Amino acid sequence: MVIKRGIKLENRNSQSGYLFDRAQKCIPGGVNSPVRAFRAVGGTPRFMQRAEGDRLYDVDGNEYIDYVCAFGPGILGHSIPRVVEALQRMCEKGFCFGAPTEQEVQLAELIAEMVPSIEVSRLVNSGTEAVMSAIRAARGFTGRDMIVKFRGCYHGHSDGLLVKAGSGAMTTSVPDSAGVPTGYTNDTKIAEYNDRAGVENIFKENPGKIAAVIVEPVAANMGVVPPEAGFLEFLRDITKKDGALLIFDEVITGFRLSLGGAQSYYGIEPDITVLGKVVGGGIPIGVYGGRREIMNMVSPVGPVYQAGTLSGNPIATTAGIETLRILRDNPEIYRNLDEKAGKIAGRVQDAGKGRVQVNRVGSLITVFFTPHPVRTYEDAAASDTDSYARYFHFLLDHGIYLPPSQFEAMFVSEALTEQDLEKTCECIEAFFETETSLEE
Ligand SMILES: *Cc1c(COP(=O)(O)O)cnc(C)c1O
C-alpha cells in the first residue's frame, strides 16, 4: 500500500463541493447537524450516497472505512440484509397509523428484557426528545425543579440542558446557546465529570431540591472519558440519600457497551434511562424508561404530559426490533467489538506515543492529541485540535472516515473486517511517521 502525506486541496470541482455550495444556500451551514459541516477540521464535507457493511460511498465515487457509524446507531454496520428486508416488508404495509401497533409492544418488551433498570418505557423520536421528557418525568415524580448535569456531557439540544457552566462558578448557569433565556437554565446546576466533591457541594447547598442528576455513564461527547472507579456508585448513593433520581443518558452507551448498556457493564442501576441511536437501528427514535412507579407519572396514566404524532411508528420500531434481536442472539458481537477496538487503540497508542492519549471503553474510542491522561473536561479541552485536524484529513484522504472533531467518539462496528482494521492501523502509523519526519 502506498501511503502519501494527506494534502488538503479544496476540490471545488468535486460533486461534494458542488453540493456543499448548493446546500449552503438553502440549509444553515449546508448541514442539518453542525458537526457534519467539518468546521472543527476544515475542508469540504463529503456528501454520501450509500453505505454497506463497514463502508461509506460518497457522490464522487470515493469509498471510506466508516468509524463514525452515524455517530452511534451503526453498531452492526450499514445495510444489514435482515434489517433491510424487515423494513421493506413493513413499508409495503404502511408506515404511520396514528394508532398502536404490535411492534411497539415488541420493542418495549425487548428493552425491558435487556436493560436491567427499565420496566416501562415510552418511545419518542430522538435522543433530545427522550432526555427532555425524562427530566419532565423526574420533576413530576419528585416534585422538585433542580437538575444537576456535568460539564462536557451532551444531552441533546433542549433549552434547559444547553449549559456547560458559567466560568468556573458552580452555582450560576449560563446558556451555551443564543436563544435560550437564562430562566430556562436557572435550575440546571453544573458539576465536573469525575469530581465527587463538586457534586457533594451542590447537594449540600440544595438539600431536598434536586429532582435528578443526569449523566452519560461513559462521557462520549467531549471525546470518550470513562467514569473513574466508584464515580457512578457515588452518584447512585448520593442521589438515593437525598431522594433525587439518577438518570443515565445511555443514548450512546445503550446496547453499545453491552446488551444492557453501561448499567450492565458497570453494574449500577439508575432510576431513569434514556436511549437513542442504536435502539432505532439508524431510523429516528428515542426512548425513556424506568421503574413502573416513575413511568406511571407519564400521560395518560399520570399528570406529566408527553405525546408524539410519529412516536413508535412501525418503521422505526421495526428497525429497532431487528437490530436488538441480532445483538441479543449473537452475544459474541460484544466480544468481537471489544477485541477490534482494543487492537486499534493499542496500535494508535504505540504509534503516537508521547503525543496522544487513547481513551477506550468497549467499542468507543477517542484519540486525544495531548500527552496527558484525559479524565476530566479540562483535560479533554486541552487537546491540540490542529493536530487532530491533520490526522483526520490524512486518514480521510486514505479512505478512512473518522469523526470530524476531536471531541466526538470513534465508533467501531461489527461489520469492520480484519483487512480494513489492518489498513486503518497502517495508515495511522504512517500518519505519525510523517508527523515525526516533518519535525526533523
Ligand atoms: C446524541 C445524543 C443525544 C441526542 O440525541 P439526538 O437523537 O441527536 O437528539 C443525547 N444524549 C447523548 C449522550 C447523545 O450522544
pLDDT at res. 178:
86
> What pLDDT band is residue 171 in, cutting at 50, 70 and 90?
very low
Residue 6 pLDDT > 80? no
249 tagged catalytic = yes
251 lines ligand 1 (CB under 6 A): yes
pLDDT at res. 163:
79
Indicate which residue's Cα is closest to atom 14 of ligand 1.
251
Q: Mean pLDDT across the stretch 288-299? A: 98
pLDDT at res. 426:
98
Residue 2 pLDDT > 50? no
DSSP string, 343-406: HHHHHHHHHTTTT-EEEEETTEEEEESSSS---SHHHHHTS-HHHHHHHHHHHHHTTEE--SST
pLDDT tens per residue across span 337-357? 999 999 999 999 999 999 999
131 lines ligand 1 (CB under 6 A): yes
pLDDT at res. 164:
66
Lowest mean pLDDT among 154-163, 223-232, 236-245, 270-279: 154-163
> What pLDDT band is residue 5 in, cutting at 50, 70 and 90?
very low
Closest CA to 184 of 165, 158, 210: 158
Q: How far is the CA of 36 from the centre of ligand 1 (A)?
A: 15
pLDDT tens per residue across span 107-142? 999 999 999 999 999 999 999 999 999 999 999 999
pLDDT at res. 440:
67
pLDDT at res. 169:
35
pLDDT at res. 195:
97
- Per residue, what are the HEC states of 11-39? CCCCHHHHHHHHHHHHCHHHCCCHHHHCC
Regarding beta strands 146-150 and 210-215, do their DSSP bridges make them parallel or antiparallel, or are they unpaired? parallel
Which residue out of 195, 277, 379, 388 is catalytically annotated?
277
Q: Mean pLDDT across the stretch 394-416? A: 97
277 tagged catalytic = yes
C-alpha–C-alpha distance, residues 390 and 327, integer Å: 35
127 lines ligand 1 (CB under 6 A): yes
Whole-model pTM: value is: 0.95
265 tagged catalytic = no
To which residue does cell 421495526 refer? 318
